[in-house]
Amino acid sequence: MGKLLLILALVSLIILLFATSLFPQNPDFWLASGGSTYQYIRGLLALVVMLQLTTRPPRHVWLRIVSGAIALVVGVWAIEATYSDHMLILDTLCFVSASVAIGVTALERKANVLNVIFSTKKSFA
């Protein structure tokens, strides 16, 4: 489930990244901004998503902290900017989906934690 979220977020980021720069007047992309700031943010998020896809769990704690902070900041910013009518809807959907996917992988647990929990439940029974 986590990889599927990351792959779908990466696909949406790449589509908007290239389509808004190559076809800015296409009616399909009128609901996404082609500004350079949005392009940089899409590129940064695509890089973080690629980093999450290429590393294997359990990831290093600093990578999880940094990626979780990026996901939190981008998610809150996207919702606030949409609420104040500064961001278009395709950008909002793309940024929120990427921040949720990155946030889910940043909150992962180690497999050993679950083994300890299940082993202690068996010992009490």
Per-residue model confidence as pLDDT tens digits over 42-92: 999 999 999 999 988 788 889 999 999 999 999 999 999 999 999 999 999
The average confidence (pLDDT) of the chain is 87
The structure tokens 């921040």 sit at 99
Give the rounded percent of residues in the chain with a pLDDT score beyond 90.
63
Per-residue model confidence as pLDDT tens digits over 97-106: 999 999 998 8
Residue 81 CB burial class (10 angstroms; 0-12, 13-18, ≥19): middle
> Residue 97 belongs to what domain range?
2-124
CA trace torsion 99, 21, 14, 75 (10° rounding):
0
pLDDT of residue 56: 85
CB atoms < 10 A from the CB of 39, how many? Answer: 16
Does the pLDDT of residue 116 top 60, yes or no? no
How many domains is the chain partitioned into structurally?
A: 1
